Amino acid sequence: MDFISNLALGFSVALAAQNILFCFVGVLGGTLVGVLPGVGPLATIAILLPVTFSMAPDSALIMLAGIYYGAQYGGSTTAILLNLPGEASSAVTTLDGYQMARRGRAGAALATAALSSFFAGTVATIIVAIFAAPLTQVAMAFRPPSYFSLMVLGLVASVVLAHGSVPKAIAMVLLGLLLGIIGTDIYTGTTRLDMGMLELADGVNFVALAIGLFGIAEILRNLENPESREVLKGRVEGLWLSLHDFRRIAMPSLRGTAIGSALGILPGGGAMLASFAAYIVEKKVSKNRDEMGRGAIEGVAAPESANNAGSQTAFIPMLTLGLPSNAVMALMIGAMIIQGVQPGPDIILKQPDMFWGLIVSMWIGNLMLVLLNLPLVGLWVRFLTVPYPVLVVAVMAFSAVGIYSASGTLFSMYELGFFGLLGYVFMRLGCEPAPLILGFILGPMMEEQLRRSMLMSRGDPTVFLTEPISLSFLIVALAALLLMTAPAIARRREEAFSEE
């Protein structure tokens, strides 16, 4: 009965007029940035953070979540029609989706992507609703040493699953931790690492950091390589599947949903890892695996269901433990902190309306996306003809105005420029910024839990080893680090990311 009453509470919040509006704005914006190559959900959520300052917390989170899973839908449109993924998690969809489009089955490929995503989104929403509350009860039993060790495990996982060099990923985590502790010490009241600048007394501006590293840096990188877009000619027709098509996508969609739901929960996982894993599995087990890569409908259904399921189950650790599983979830936690909401298991008890409203809004948002994607596909195709320089100017101006209106200080503009250039340098050096943002968000939380643990144990560091839950997390983290350094695992990891 609790489950039913919780869903009823969620529907009452999600169906409020303003939340329906913000959910629609989120999924529409997410679809748009997914369609337009070069402006991903990470950059968009970072850029839109200042807009959420004046919104209610539940409306802000509903809109930002809509952008995230909406981009998974939108990315498939360009992947199928242009052979150019609008979003990284849709990259594998190009293999079969574009081949289907070249054979005159663009409508069937788009319908497969939309229906598979809707199915996966519905199942993933139910999974989040079922498991979030029990996991929250488990998390309530955690003490400070357990939380500290859990965050250590989260940072190790972000290193293991980061692209490229492991030492670079570790360096990015450490830099994020360092940036996160700049400002005033909450226990002693003294400032630290502020280099004598009063503007840094409250710490580094999170919004400037996020927009700079993900928004401005991404734009600078895209300007370096102006792309030519060749939009598919002719009308997209046949936006309905035959019975034979439904039979062929049923099992791939189920398998993709299961894989995406599982991988989305893992720290460092999420939509992109899920879509590649689902495609690889489908190539091994599908009855029509000989057609994979040459226009097989299974090659669209599996990754599209996986990336949407993964993007939604990624909310489970964020909502229940306050632990971001990827950079997008780190931005979501940043948005919650800005709104005065402390992420963690207390949310479900202290703000159940926001918690269940967000979960139910995911299903409503997925329904909106099916209605948006199929009938409006012609509109999305026309958006692809917008010149990228026009978008750049609009996005840069929007970012600058947004951050200045939120902070009201010129210093935040300097921070924006600094982190934008720093993010661009990181990209050129092959350093992924996602571990940095995770370290930045988790750094102050880890420090707080570390200090509480030390106070609780009267300065005895063995408390992290004597508490069973904490010890378990540390053992898993150590095992992950050791496995990563094993030559065979390291080689396989490089091969997996080179395939992406």
What is the band of 425 on the pLDDT scale with cuts at 50, 70, 90? very high
pLDDT greater at residue 496 or residue 275: 275
Task: Write down the pTM of the prediction.
Answer: 0.75
pLDDT digits (tens, 9 = 90+) for 274-317: 887 888 888 888 888 788 888 889 988 998 898 888 887 888 88
Could you tell me whether strands 183-184 and 191-192 are parallel, antiparallel, or unpaired per DSSP bridges?
A: antiparallel
What HEC string does 294-341 produce? CCCCHHHHHHHHHHHHHHHHCHHHHHHHCCCCCHHHHHHHHHHHHCCC
Average pLDDT of the chain is 80
CA dihedral (325, 330, 332, 337) positive or negative = positive
What is the band of 252 on the pLDDT scale with cuts at 50, 70, 90? very high
Mean pLDDT value across residues 427-449: 85
pLDDT digits (tens, 9 = 90+) for 89-124: 677 888 888 888 888 888 888 888 888 888 988 898
pLDDT digits (tens, 9 = 90+) for 212-233: 887 788 778 777 765 555 555 5
Say if residue 325's pLDDT is above 80: no
> How many Cβ atoms from other residues are within 10 Å of residue 233's Cβ?
5
Say if residue 60's pLDDT is above 70: yes
Q: Given this model, what pLDDT does residue 86 score?
A: 59
Mean pLDDT value across residues 429-458: 86
What HEC string does the chain produce? CHHHHHHHHHHHHHCCHHHHHHHHHHHHHHHHHHHCCCCCHHHHHHHHHHHHHHCCHHHHHHHHHHHHHHHHHHHHHHHHHHCCCCCHHHCCHHHHHHHHHHCCCHHHHHHHHHHHHHHHHHHHHHHHHHHHHHHHHHHHCCCHHHHHHHHHHHHHHHHHCCCCCHHHHHHHHHHHHHHHCCEECCCCCCEECCCCCHHHCCCCCHHHHHHHHHHHHHHHHHHHCCCCCCCCCCCCCCCCCCHHHHHHHHHHHHHHHHHHHHHHHCCCCCHHHHHHHHHHHHHHHCCCHHHCCCCCCHHHHHHHHHHHHHHHHCHHHHHHHCCCCCHHHHHHHHHHHHCCCCCCCCHHHHCHHHHHHHHHHHHHHHHHHHHHHCCCHHHHHHHCCCCHHHHHHHHHHHHHHHHHHHHCCHHHHHHHHHHHHHHHHHHHHCCCCHHHHHHHHHHHHHHHHHHHHHHHCCCCCCHHHHCHHHHHHHHHHHHHHHHHHCHHHHHHHHHHHHHC
Say if residue 413's pLDDT is above 60: yes
In whole angstroms, how far apart are CA 291 and each of 78, 274, 284, 320? 22, 21, 12, 41
Q: Given this model, what pLDDT does residue 75 score?
A: 74
Mean pLDDT value across residues 238-250: 83
Mean pLDDT value across residues 194-198: 82
Query: How far is the C-alpha of 357 from the C-alpha of 360, rounded, in Å?
Result: 5
What is the band of 270 on the pLDDT scale with cuts at 50, 70, 90? low
Q: Which of 139-143, 206-210, 283-287, 364-368 has the lowest mean pLDDT?
A: 139-143
What is the band of 479 on the pLDDT scale with cuts at 50, 70, 90? confident
What is the band of 475 on the pLDDT scale with cuts at 50, 70, 90? very high
pLDDT digits (tens, 9 = 90+) for 336-347: 887 778 777 777
Q: Given this model, what pLDDT does residue 409 score?
A: 82
What is the band of 499 on the pLDDT scale with cuts at 50, 70, 90? very low
Say if residue 175's pLDDT is above 90: yes
Q: Given this model, what pLDDT does residue 356 score?
A: 86
What is the band of 85 on the pLDDT scale with cuts at 50, 70, 90? low
- Could you tell me which residues come within 8 angstroms of residue 195 by beta carbon, excluding any fewer than 6 positions away? none
